[in-house]
Structure 1
């Protein structure tokens, strides 16, 4: 099956976000190894949760490529959460602009691509039948 261009673009954004979370988890793991954590238990828990999020984003990317509605639905939720997190960061002083842009821009782009892909597939009937 050949995925439509919008679905491929959305999957690429999701995969890049997942890869970014893996990099963040690795950085935190090295920081933990260097003794930079106040609580080892909390640091390990946050690293595990970050890796779970990365795995979810990568799974959603694969599912989006395959045209699965569950993948788009889950991915849309994570994109909305990314945008909300970026907007919440605007309330901090000083505003962490790099974080706001690095989290918010891919979130908005992924959200728009996912919705556009779903609308295109619904209007053209390109969506594959879900496997049971």
Structure 2
């Protein structure tokens, strides 16, 4: 009976070690930081609903922001207004997260839609649409 007990205890010990190593490797995966700011002139009675890869993450209201870590790789960020009383279509942007990178977006309102704008982009989708088309 003691040999069976020794066998079981050794098996459980090995199982615990393997579990600890796999948990440590999952937690140690490199990630990037995502920050989504809601611009001040967005409106006092409307918020931004944020989804990452189709999963609900946050509702960002006046004076708040979202910040969280994303694993490295490609992710789809989707935003829509909250409450969405006019059934506006959500907009999405794809982000390729690099380990240790920081990704900042401003949630904005334009042309009856909510969208994410990276810093440094000067025109909104509505403003881009209104630009004259150059002859080809």
TM-score by length of 1: 0.23
More helix by share: 1
Which of these two proteins has the greater Rg computed from alpha carbons? 2
More strand by share: 2
